[in-house]
C-alpha cells in the first residue's frame, strides 16, 4: 500500500459526517470521503436494501472517484490511490491511508458482486452500480463508457467512405510538402490527413507546435477536393429534376470558447498558405464550443438539441483540445453524429485531462486495437512512405515540433518521457528562454519561497504587460489590449492556499498598485481589468475559461473577448460569472498560449502534482518559461503520472 503522506489534514465541521460510525465514519474523518459521498452511499444502500459496511464503502468510493476524474474504481488497487477530499484544484494535501481499515480485496469484490445494488456487465438493468472487468461503476457512467466504446468501434469497423484514390494521391502531393523535415523522417502530417480521409473516425495527436491545426486545415481542403471530385455535381433528384449537390458541411469545435477561438484563427491562418483553389473551397470556417455545437438547452430531458433523434447536419466534425473533453460530453457528441459523418479528434494526450470524469483522448490514443490490413493497403496506394501497419481507430501521433523547439521543446519531451535527471539538467542550463528558481527556504510559501532576483524578474513579467494592457484599453485599442493578455500568465496548481491563485493574485495586485499609478482605482470596471469567465453563459456566448479585458470605447466601457475574427464587445452589466485574472490554474489555462509562462510548483506532497500538470504548464509558453519551485517537487511530478480509472482503454 502506498502511504501518501504522514500528515492528516485538519477537517472543518462542514467536512464531517456527524453521527456516522463504522467504515464510512472512519474514512470521512480521515479525509478520504466527503459528506456528500457518505450520505449518497447511505441513501443508495437504504433504498437498495444493502447494509454491509464494505459494500456501502465501495459505493461511497465510487461516488468520490468522480471528483478525482475517474469513472470507476478497482477495489483491488483503490487503497493505493492518493486521496484528498476536495475538488480538483482545491486539493492541497495528500491523505494518509495507511492506518485505515481497508476490507480484504477478494472478499470485498465478492460482497459487491453478491449485492442487490450491483449488476454485472451483461446483467439486468435497473441497479445503481455495475461491476465489469473487476471495475465498479455507478450505472450512469458505465452506460456512458459503453456508449462511447460501441460507437467508436462501430465507426472504426464500418465500411470505409467512398474515396477517389487517384485524386487523394494528387491532392496530398499538391497540399503537403516535406519542407523542413529530415529526409529520413516520415511525413506524419500527410499520413494523418490521408488516414482521416479514408476513415469515419481518426485521431490526430501531438504536443504543442507539432502542426495539428495546420494538418486540420490541409485535411479539410482534401475533403473538399474529394467532395468536388466524386460524381457529377449536377445530379438529379427522385423526380428527375436537376439537383445541385450541396457543399461539404464542416464543423470545428473545442471544449472552451478560448480554445475554439484559437482553433478558428489557426485554421484560417493555415488555409491562407494553401493553393488558391483549395483556399477558396475552405472559405471562412468558424469554430464553436462543443456545447454550442450540440445546442445546449437549459431545460428539457436531453439537455442538447442535437442527439440520437436529431442528428448534427455536418459531414465532417473536428474537435480540438480533446484532452479536455470528459466522458459524458463525448458520449453526447457521438450520439449526435450521423453515421456517415467523419469525426476527427485532435489533441495532446499528455496534457491534463478534463476536470470532469474521464480521460477519453488518452484512452483512445493508448488503446491497442487490432491491425486494419485494409487501411494499411489503401495507405500504400496514396503515400510514398506508408506505415507498415495501421489500426482501426486511425491514430497518428505527430512528433516534429515546428513552433518553439529549443529548450522548451526539449523540456516538454523530457517531462513526457519521465526523464527526471534530464529535466533538472535542462532547468539548470541557464538558457535565456528558461528560468528555474529554487526557494532559499523550501518550507516558505508565497513571496518568501522565491529568491529576490527571481521575484524581481517575475514582478517585471507581471507589471510590463499590465501597463501595456491598461494604456491600450484606455485609448480604445481593443486588439492591442487583447494581445497584451497573451504576453504573460502566472499559473498555479491550486486555487487556494499559499501556492494558489488567490494568494498570488493578492500579491500581484499589490505589485501593480505600487508600479502603475491609478491602477484599479476606477471602480469595478476599470479600463485594463483582465477578465476570466467562470461559468458558461449561453446568452452572451461566453464560456468557462474565456478571458477578456475591459476597454474604453466610443459607446462607453465594454468587455472585449477574442473570437478568432473580430473581437466580441459586451457591456459589463451583462456579465455574470466573471472575475479578474492575474493568475490562473493550469487547468483553466488549457487551450491557451502565452509568450511567457511563470509556474508556481506546489510542494511535493500536493495531490495535484503530476507529470501532466507540469507538462501542461510549461507547454502553455511559446517563448519563455519561469519555473518557481523545488527540485524535489519537480522530480516528484515527473515520476507521478495521473491515474484515472477507466475501462475504456482496455475495452477498445
**What is the structure's pLDDT at 180?**
52
What pLDDT was estimated at residue 16? 62
Is the pLDDT at 650 greater than 60, yes or no? yes
Residue in the structure block whose three cell numbers are 441513501:
43
Q: Quick check: 321 pLDDT over 60?
A: yes
pLDDT score, position 133: 84
Residue range 222-239: mean pLDDT, rounded: 64
CB 256 within 8 A of CB 592: no
Query: What strands, in cross-sheet order, belong to the sheet with 395-397?
Result: 287-289, 250-254, 316-319, 342-347, 201-205, 395-397
H helix intervals, 388-489: 406-416, 420-427, 452-475, 478-484
Per-residue pLDDT of 128-141, as tens digits, reads 999 988 889 999 99
Distance, CA of 638 to CA of 393 (rounded, Å): 29
Residue 80 pLDDT greater than 60, yes or no: yes
Average pLDDT value over all residues in the chain: 82
The Cα–Cα gap between 514 and 518 comes to 9
**Section 461-488 average pLDDT:** 90
Position 336 pLDDT exceeds 90: yes
| Span of 434-443, 545-554, 634-643 with lowest mean pLDDT | 434-443
Contacting residues for 4 by C-beta, under 8 A, at least 6 apart: 82, 83, 94, 95, 96, 97, 605, 607
Of 229-238, 379-388, 612-621, 627-636, the poorest mean pLDDT is in 229-238
For the cut 80, the answer to whether the pLDDT of residue 389 exceeds it is no
Where does the pLDDT of residue 95 fall: very low under 50, low under 70, confident under 90, or very high at 90 and above? low
Give the C-alpha distances (Å, rounded to integers) separating 550 from 471, 479, 547, 556.
Answer: 11, 12, 11, 10
pLDDT interval class at 597 (50, 70, 90):
very high
Looking at the predicted structure, is the pLDDT value of residue 508 above 50? yes
Q: What is the CA radius of gyration of the chain?
A: 26
The tally of CA atoms less than 13 A away on the side-chain side of residue 534 is 10
Question: In this model, does residue 93 exceed pLDDT 60?
Answer: no
CA triplet 521, 525, 531: central angle to 5 degrees? Answer: 110
pLDDT for 333 = 94
- For residue range 20-44, list pLDDT tens digits in order: 778 888 888 877 888 888 888 889 9
pTM of the entire predicted model: 0.84
Give the separation between CA 564 and CA 652, rounded to whole angstroms. 36
Query: Mean of the pLDDT values across residues 364-384?
Result: 82
CA 551/CA 580 separation, integer angstroms: 14
pLDDT tens digit sequence for 527-566? 989 998 888 777 787 877 788 999 999 888 999 988 666 7
Mean pLDDT of 377-398: 81
pLDDT tens for each residue of 129-184: 999 888 899 999 999 999 999 999 888 888 888 888 888 888 888 888 765 555 56
Task: Say if residue 233's pLDDT is above 70.
Answer: no
Quote the pLDDT of residue 185: 66
CA–CA gap between residue 173 and residue 510 (Å, rounded): 57
pLDDT at 337: 94
pLDDT of 625 higher than 50: yes
Euclidean distance between CA atoms 385 and 186, whole angstroms: 7
Please state the rounded mean pLDDT for residues 278-290: 82
Residue with cell 494558489: 500
Task: Please list the residues that pair with 621 across neighbouring strands.
Answer: 594
- Number of Cβ within a 10 Å radius of residue 283: 13
d(CA 529, CA 390): 50
Q: Which residue has the cell 506524419?
A: 188
What is the per-residue pLDDT for 84? 44
* Cα 448 to Cα 439: distance, rounded to the nearest angstrom: 8
Q: Is the predicted pLDDT of residue 367 greater than 90, yes or no?
A: no
Percent of the chain with pLDDT over 90: 19
DSSP 387: -
Spatial CA neighbour of 541 closest among 258, 213, 249, 251? 258
pLDDT of residue 13: 46
Average pLDDT over residues 240-250: 66
User: What residue ranges in 103-249 does DSSP mark as E strands?
Assistant: 118-120, 129-132, 135-138, 201-205, 234-236, 242-244
Cβ–Cβ < 8 Å for 85, 31: yes
Would you state the pLDDT for residue 226? 87
DSSP classification of residue 440 = S
Mean pLDDT across 55-83: 83
The pLDDT of residue 638 = 92
State the cell numbers at 589. 489555462
- With a CB cutoff of 8 Å and minimum separation 6, the contacts of 486 are 592, 593, 594, 595
**Residue 386 to residues 219, 237, 378, 379, 383, Cα–Cα distance (Å):** 17, 40, 9, 6, 5
- Alpha helices by DSSP H, listed for 272-326, are 276-282, 290-294
Res. 491: pLDDT tops 90: yes
pLDDT in tens, 350-362: 888 877 887 888 8
Band of residue 397 on the pLDDT scale cut at 50, 70, 90 = confident
HSE of 153, CA atoms in CB hemisphere, 13 A: 15
Amino acid at each position: 500500500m502506498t502511504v501518501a503522506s504522514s500528515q492528516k489534514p485538519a477537517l472543518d465541521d462542514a467536512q464531517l459526517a456527524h453521527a456516522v460510525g463504522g467504515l464510512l465514519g472512519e474514512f470521512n474523518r480521515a479525509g478520504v470521503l466527503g459528506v456528500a459521498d457518505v450520505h449518497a452511499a447511505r441513501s443508495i444502500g437504504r433504498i437498495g436494501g444493502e447494509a454491509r459496511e464494505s459494500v456501502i464503502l465501495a459505493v461511497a468510493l465510487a461516488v468520490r472517484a468522480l471528483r478525482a476524474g475517474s469513472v470507476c474504481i478497482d477495489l483491488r488497487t483503490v487503497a493505493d490511490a492518493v486521496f484528498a477530499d476536495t475538488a480538483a484544484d482545491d486539493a492541497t494535501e495528500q491523505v494518509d491511508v495507511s492506518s485505515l481499515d481497508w476490507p480484504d480485496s477478494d472478499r470485498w469484490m465478492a460482497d459487491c458482486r453478491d449485492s442487490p445494488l450491483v449488476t454485472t456487465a451483461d446483467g439486468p438493468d435497473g441497479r445503481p452500480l455495475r461491476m465489469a472487468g473487476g471495475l465498479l461503476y455507478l450505472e450512469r457512467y458505465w452506460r456512458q463508457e459503453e456508449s462511447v466504446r460501441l460507437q467508436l468501434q462501430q465507426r472504426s469497423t464500418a465500411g470505409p467512405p467512398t474515396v477517389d484514390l487517384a485524386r487523394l494521391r494528387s491532392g496530398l502531393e499538391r497540399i503537403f510538402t516535406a519542407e523542413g523535415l529530415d529526409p529520413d523522417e516520415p511525413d506524419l502530417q500527410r499520413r494523418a490527413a490521408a488516414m482521416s480521409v479514408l476513415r469515419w473516425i481518426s485521431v490526430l495527436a501531438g504536443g504543442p507546435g507539432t502542426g495539428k491545426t495546420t494538418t486540420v486545415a490541409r485535411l479539410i481542403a482534401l475533403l473538399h477536393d474529394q467532395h468536388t471530385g466524386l460524381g457529377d455535381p449536377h445530379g438529379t433528384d427522385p423526380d428527375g429534376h436537376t439537383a445541385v449537390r450541396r457543399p461539404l458541411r464542416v464543423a470545428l469545435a473545442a471544449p472552451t470558447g478560448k480554445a475554439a477561438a484559437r482553433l478558428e484563427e489557426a485554421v484560417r491562418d493555415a488555409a491562407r498558405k494553401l493553393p488558391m483553389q483549395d483556399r477558396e473551397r475552405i472559405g471562412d470556417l468558424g469554430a464553436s464550443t462543443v456545447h454550442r455545437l450540440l445546442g445546449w438547452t437549459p431545460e428539457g430531458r436531453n439537455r442538447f438539441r442535437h442527439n440520437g433523434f436529431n442528428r448534427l447536419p455536418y459531414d465532417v466534425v473536428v474537435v480540438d483540445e480533446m484532452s479536455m473533453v470528459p466522458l459524458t460530453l463525448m458520449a453526447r457528441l457521438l450520439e449526435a453524429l450521423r453515421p456517415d459523418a467523419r469525426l476527427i479528434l485532435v489533441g495532446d494526450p499528455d496534457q491534463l485531462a478534463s476536470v470532469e470524469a474521464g480521460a477519453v483522448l488518452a484512452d483512445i490514443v493508448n488503446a491497442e486495437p487490432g491491425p486494419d490490413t485494409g487501411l494499411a493497403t489503401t495507405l500504400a496506394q496514396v503515400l510514398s512512405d506508408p506505415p507498415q501497419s495501421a489500426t482501426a481507430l486511425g491514430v497518428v501521433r505527430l512528433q516534429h515540433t515546428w513552433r518553439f523547439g529549443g529548450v522548451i521543446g526539449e523540456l516538454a519531451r523530457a517531462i513526457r518521457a519521465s526523464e527526471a535527471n534530464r529535466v533538472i539538467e535542462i532547468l539548470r542550463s541557464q538558457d535565456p528562454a528558461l528560468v528555474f528558481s529554487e526557494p532559499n527556504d523550501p518550507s516558505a510559501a508565497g513571496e518568501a519561497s522565491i529568491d529576490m532576483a527571481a521575484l524581481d524578474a517575475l514582478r517585471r513579467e507581471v507589471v510590463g504587460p499590465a501597463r501595456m494592457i491598461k494604456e491600450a484599453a484606455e485609448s480604445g485599442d481593443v486588439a492591442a489590449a487583447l494581445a497584451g493578455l497573451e504576453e504573460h500568465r502566472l499559473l498555479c496548481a491550486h486555487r487556494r492556499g499559499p501556492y494558489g491563485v488567490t494568494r498570488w493574485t493578492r500579491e500581484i495586485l499589490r505589485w501593480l498598485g505600487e508600479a502603475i499609478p491609478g491602477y484599479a482605482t476606477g471602480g469595478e470596471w476599470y479600463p485594463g481589468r483582465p477578465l476570466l469567465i467562470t461559468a458558461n453563459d449561453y446568452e452572451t456566448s461566453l464560456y468557462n475559461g474565456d478571458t477578456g479585458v475591459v476597454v474604453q470605447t466610443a459607446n462607453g466601457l465594454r468587455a472585449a473577448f477574442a473570437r478568432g475574427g473580430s473581437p466580441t464587445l459586451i457591456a459589463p452589466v451583462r456579465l455574470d460569472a466573471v472575475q479578474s485574472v492575474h493568475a490562473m490554474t493550469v487547468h483553466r489555462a488549457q487551450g491557451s498560449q502565452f509568450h511567457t509562462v511563470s509556474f508556481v510548483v506546489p510542494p511535493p506532497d500536493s495531490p495535484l502534482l503530476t507529470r501532466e500538470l507540469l507538462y501542461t504548464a510549461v507547454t502553455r509558453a511559446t517563448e519563455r518559461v519561469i519555473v518557481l519551485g523545488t527540485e524535489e517537487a519537480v522530480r516528484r511530478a515527473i515520476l507521478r503520472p495521473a491515474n484515472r480509472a477507466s475501462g475504456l482503454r482496455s475495452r477498445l
